[in-house]
Amino acid sequence: MAPRKSPARSGKRTAPRATKRAAPAAKERAAARKSLVPAFEKTSLGRATFDDVDMGRASFRDVSFRDATFDDVSFAGARLANATFERARLGDVTMEGATLANAALRRMRVTDADLAGTRFTDADFKGVRLARCRIEGLTIDGVRIDKLLATLTRASAARKKKPRVAAAKARKPAAPRKPAAARARGASRKRSSK
């Protein structure tokens, strides 16, 4: 009996396999990946400590992070609605491309954070402190903060360069004052005449 030759070795072309099963499997895998995006609703995570956590692309609605501490945490691409970060401390945090709507951020402290492309709408920033943060593309209620700061810096520099000649010309020269001794004599004469 002669050995069987496989179609690939024999030089014959074979038809591609049917891929009807592959398409639903790919859709199922994509749906599974999509479902892995965490969603938090009506949750209090106050006073919690988050260290080296990836919350990217997560969804947060009505979540409180009051007095929480975040260190080396990623919120990249996350969506936060009605979130509270009052008195929270964020260090080395990435919020690149995140969206925060109606967020209470009062007295929040942020250091060494990447806020590039982050969008805040209807947020309360009372007492917020930012230090050493990347803000390219940061938008608050539709205003690009990096461009606003650049405009203010240019305007401030221009004001410092302009001479203040116009203000000096507008002032009237003061009336010459009498020497102190003459003023004292004049005051003593008025007292003695009474």
76-94 pLDDT tens trace: 999 999 999 999 999 999 9
- C-alpha span between 51 and 9 (Å, rounded): 57
The structural domains of the chain, ordered by start, are: 35-157 (2.160.20)
Tokens of 10: 């024999």
pLDDT (mean) for 33-62: 89
Tokens of 132: 């050493």
pLDDT at 118 over 80: yes
Mean pLDDT (the chain) is 81
pLDDT at 6 over 70: no
* pLDDT score of 161: 74
- C-alpha span between 87 and 131 (Å, rounded): 15
Predicted TM-score of the model (pTM): 0.62
